[in-house]
Amino acid sequence: MWEYSEKVKEHFFNPRNVGEIKDADAVGEVGSLACGDALKLYLKLDENGRIEEAKFQTFGCGSAIASSSALTEMIKGLTLDEALKITNRDIANFLGGLPEEKMHCSVMGKEALEVAISNYRGIKIHAEEEGEGKLICRCFGVSEGQIRRVIKENNLSTVEQVTNYCKAGGACGSCVPEIEDILFEMKKQIKRIPVEEKAPKKKLTNLQKISMIQDIIENEIKPSLKQDGGDIELVDVADNKVFVALRGTCTNCPSSSFTLKSGVEAKLKEYVSDELEVVEVAS
């Protein structure tokens, strides 16, 4: 049986913003009833282009309802560009975490938001990745582009993780070999520290610790933030506290706290020491 946080239970039993906006400025629909999960997201903008109202209709499990409810609360008051910076992990973190097997619910929320904003702007979402992309999982209607996206955005490395994040491979299993091929290809393209090559956990000198922290920030974290106009600077390291300053679009981003904890701190704990704590200082 899966363990759900109290916040997940709260948003499931008392979901916020359920329903339809008749005169919505933007509507995004993802999933299908045939595949077991479907979400329709409605957005209403104010005169300044900020999201004034957000509502949803969903068919799915408790995690799908909770994720949709959380998303509508998170995006209120944001501009469309600010809302687009919210990741599926931000949604999960807002809820105090989701079972790994239910992460596809947070992905569905993120995708519905992207589709709604793209429809509003009159552009085809992820055309460069999906377009007429090959359908890999026929059971759940998941394309190669979608699989590549969840692998890249969530640093996935196994078929089981792919299934947890987008359901591909979770039914008949006939697409598993193709998913394995995609994973193998993407592992070769992405430069990162392989798990099997990581040094065994041992006591680091302060110089070793600082050097590793600098390397991870420069080569693993900065490139990702710069893609969205953001940046990060290492300010100081004291014992197990890592002091950083966010730059660019990250400075006033409403999701900056999620970025620091689920992105920066999590990666430093994984590759350097699980005792590290990231602390933001004024820019």
Which residues participate in catalysis according to the annotation?
A: 35, 105
For 273, the token pair is 């020491």
Instruction: Give me the half-sphere count of Cα atoms (radius 13 Å) on the Cβ side of residue 54.
Output: 26
Name the DSSP letter for residue 36.
T
Ordered DSSP codes for 80-104: HHHHHT--HHHHHHHTT---GGGHH
Helix (H, G, I), strand (E, B) or coil at 18: strand
CB contact at 8 A, 268 and 213? yes
How far is 164 from 65, CA to CA, in rounded Å?
17
130: Cα separation from own chain's centroid: 18
